[in-house]
Amino acid sequence: MNESLRNKILSHIASVLKVPSESLNDEMRFGIDIKPSFVSDFKYNELDILIEDMRDACSGKILTEWNRGEINTETVGEYIEHIIRCYNENPKLVTKLIFANDVQ
């Protein structure tokens, strides 16, 4: 696995969550170990943003799997693997969506 890509994705997650990337590990579960700062029906929280990123990064076969509900991403490690898979299918899309706004 490309460690540089993995680190960029981990940095993206940390940026959205506003935590140091060192505080995250692959086994941490969204909604259980990682909780949003607020819950609202009207405004996106950090977990909503990450879910939207996962969906928007999909293209082709992966998008079909997403729409069928075949992709289940509960942990930081699963999120990273999903984004890497999307990157391997469409690097330009993932770079634009996931890395464009992150501070380098």
Place of tokens 């997403």: 66
Q: If you compute the radius of gyration of the chain from its CA atoms, what whole number of angstroms results?
A: 13
Q: Does residue 104 lie within any of the structural domains?
A: no
Q: Does residue 21 lie within any of the structural domains?
A: yes
Q: Does residue 58 lie within any of the structural domains?
A: yes
Domain that residue 63 falls in: 3-99
**Torsion 58-36-72-43 (CA) sign:** negative
Indicate the number of domains in the chain: 1
Q: Does residue 33 lie within any of the structural domains?
A: yes
Closest CA to 31 of 89, 74, 79: 74
Question: What secondary structure does DSSP assign to 77-89, as a single string?
Answer: HHHHHHHHHHHHH
Task: Reply yes or no on whether the pLDDT at 102 is more than 60.
Answer: no
Amino acid 79 reads: Y
Q: Does residue 7 lie within any of the structural domains?
A: yes
Kindly report, residue by residue over 32-86, the tens digit of the pLDDT: 999 998 888 889 999 999 999 999 999 989 999 999 999 989 999 999 999 999 9
Q: Does residue 83 lie within any of the structural domains?
A: yes
